[in-house]
């Protein structure tokens, strides 16, 4: 989370510093009409491309990727499970389900407690992991779609501004220059939002999705190891490459 926030702030600060070094007036870059067009147009075009459920997932995934909860140690949890299973059998793990904070891990433990065939357990968990990963990658694609629309909508805003300028050519050189500058602010907003917000956040989501999937793979290996009765060393060896 810290790196994402620092990166976005640094990117924004660099733009503001560049404006300052050019000795341009900040107010020249603040155009409400252009801002409304870019944000509203991009949001509308993107929303039309995906389902409401996918947008709900996007909000959830963004929150989890930018403000992640503190992760518990999978190795410690599985070693504790292995010890209990060795002493009291796999059925004893059912008493631990209520205290497991990870839904994917609970699903795996429940499957082996129910006596599900080992091959079926593996297939079910792999398919579930793939489904979760696809949802997370889909959220990243939504932001990438927004990043694609944003500059194009900016060009639309610029064309609208230039049409207005051409209709008022007799207003004088100063007014003409101000009109053209205002028209190009829309393109500036479109490119800036795409490259300083949408694409970086999409990349952040992809990185987060990759790490989440690695964690799920470690859980799958741990579940299989528990069910087959592997000793503690083998259990850790199976999980370690994914942690």
Q: Are residues 54 and 75 in the same domain?
A: yes
**DSSP-assigned states of every residue in 101-155:** --HHHHHHHHHHHTT--HHHHHHHHHHHHHHHHHHHHHHHHHHHHHHHHHHHHHH
Q: Are residues 16 and 67 in the same domain?
A: no
Which has the higher per-residue pLDDT, 163 or 20?
Answer: 163
Count how many domains the chain has: 2
> Mean pLDDT over residues 186-193, rounded?
90
Q: Can you tell me the distance from the alpha carbon of 74 to that of 235, in angstroms, rounded to the nearest whole number?
A: 11
Q: Are residues 21 and 38 in the same domain?
A: no
Are the C-beta atoms of 161 and 182 separated by less than 8 Å? yes
Which has the higher per-residue pLDDT, 49 or 230?
Answer: 49
Q: Are residues 133 and 59 in the same domain?
A: yes
**What range does the domain containing 81 cover?**
31-243
pLDDT at 22: 63
The per-residue pLDDT of the chain, averaged, comes to 85
pLDDT of 131 over the 90 cut: yes
pLDDT at 72: 80
Q: Are residues 178 and 217 in the same domain?
A: yes
Q: What sign results for the dihedral spanned by CA atoms 222, 228, 231, 234?
A: negative
Q: Are residues 24 and 99 in the same domain?
A: no
Q: Are residues 215 and 105 in the same domain?
A: yes
pLDDT at 55: 94
pLDDT of 57 over the 90 cut: yes
Q: Are residues 21 and 98 in the same domain?
A: no
Residue-wise pLDDT tens digits, 25-47: 666 667 888 888 899 999 999 99
Q: Are residues 11 and 119 in the same domain?
A: no
Q: What is the pTM of this model?
A: 0.82
Q: Are residues 12 and 107 in the same domain?
A: no
Helix (H, G, I), strand (E, B) or coil at 68: coil
């Amino acid at each position: 989370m810290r790196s994402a926030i620092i990166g976005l702030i640094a990117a924004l600060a660099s733009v503001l510093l560049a404006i300052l070094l050019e000795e341009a007036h900040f107010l020249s870059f603040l155009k409400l009409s252009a801002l409304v067009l870019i944000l509203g147009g991009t949001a509308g075009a993107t929303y039309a491309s995906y389902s409401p459920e996918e947008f709900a997932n996007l909000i959830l995934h963004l929150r989890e990727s930018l403000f992640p909860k503190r992760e518990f140690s999978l190795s410690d949890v599985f070693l504790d499970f292995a010890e209990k299973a060795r002493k009291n059998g796999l059925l004893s793990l059912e008493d631990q389900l209520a205290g497991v904070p990870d839904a994917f891990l609970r699903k795996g433990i429940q499957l082996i407690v129910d006596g599900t065939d080992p091959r079926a357990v593996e297939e079910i968990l792999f398919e579930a992991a793939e489904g979760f990963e696809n949802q997370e990658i889909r959220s990243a694609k939504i932001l990438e779609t927004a990043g694609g629309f944003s500059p194009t909508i900016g060009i639309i805003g610029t064309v609208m501004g230039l049409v207005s300028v051409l209709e008022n050519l007799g207003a004088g050189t100063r007014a003409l220059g101000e009109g053209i500058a205002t028209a190009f602010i829309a393109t500036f907003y479109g490119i800036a939002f795409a490259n300083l917000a949408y694409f970086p956040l999409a990349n952040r989501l992809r990185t987060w999705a990759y790490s989440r999937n690695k964690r799920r793979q470690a859980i799958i290996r741990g579940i299989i190891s528990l069910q087959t009765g592997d000793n503690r060393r083998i259990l850790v060896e199976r999980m370690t490459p994914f942690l």
